[in-house]
Amino acid sequence: GAGVSQSPSNKVTEKGKDVELRCDPISGHTALYWYRQSLGQGLEFLIYFQGNSAPDKSGLPSDRFSAERTGGSVSTLTIQRTQQEDSAVYLCASSLGSGQGAKNIQYFGAGTRLSVL
């Protein structure tokens, strides 16, 4: 079956512009995560959606970052007024559910490589 799909795969933008990154999770997965990975660094948690519950936004680095998940499926991560330090790979992951056990295994998309000039 199809895995997690992210678009665009690459995005180059100018400082100050807004960007939108899209994530299509695996069909039937209720949990969706966004991470950021800078060059040579680990994954930085940004935001988590689980079903119809309020999202966990505790990882968003500033109010320029926001995310939505419509209809419990597709998610969009928006970065307003981009800065050079926003340059990174933005990874989306989905899991069957949450809690302990195999259902919380996260499957990743290929990511969006964002470059802010």
Partner 1 sequence: RKEVEQDPGPFNVPEGATVAFNCTYSNSASQSFFWYRQDCRKEPKLLMSVYSSGNEDGRFTAQLNRASQYISLLIRDSKLSDSATYLCVAASSTGNQFYFGTGTSLTVIP
Interacting residues toward partner 1 by CB under 8 A? 31, 33, 35, 41-43, 45, 48, 50, 56, 91, 98-102, 104-111
Cβ 7 to partner 1, closest distance in Å? 14
Short-list 77, 100, 99, 101, CA closest to 88: 77
Q: Which is nearer to partner 1, 14 or 100 (CB)?
A: 100
Which residues fall within 8 angstroms of residue 33, CB to CB, at 6 or more apart?
A: 45, 46, 47, 48, 49, 92, 93, 94, 95, 106
State which residue, 32 or 79, has the beta carbon closest to partner 1.
32
| Residue closer to partner 1, measured from CB, 76 or 106 | 106
Distance CA 91, CA 41 (A): 13
Reference 17, options 60, 105, 112, 81; nearest CA is 81
Minimal distance, residue 29 CB to partner 1, in Å: 14
Q: Which is nearer to partner 1, 31 or 116 (CB)?
A: 31
| Distance of closest approach, residue 22 Cβ to partner 1, in angstroms | 15
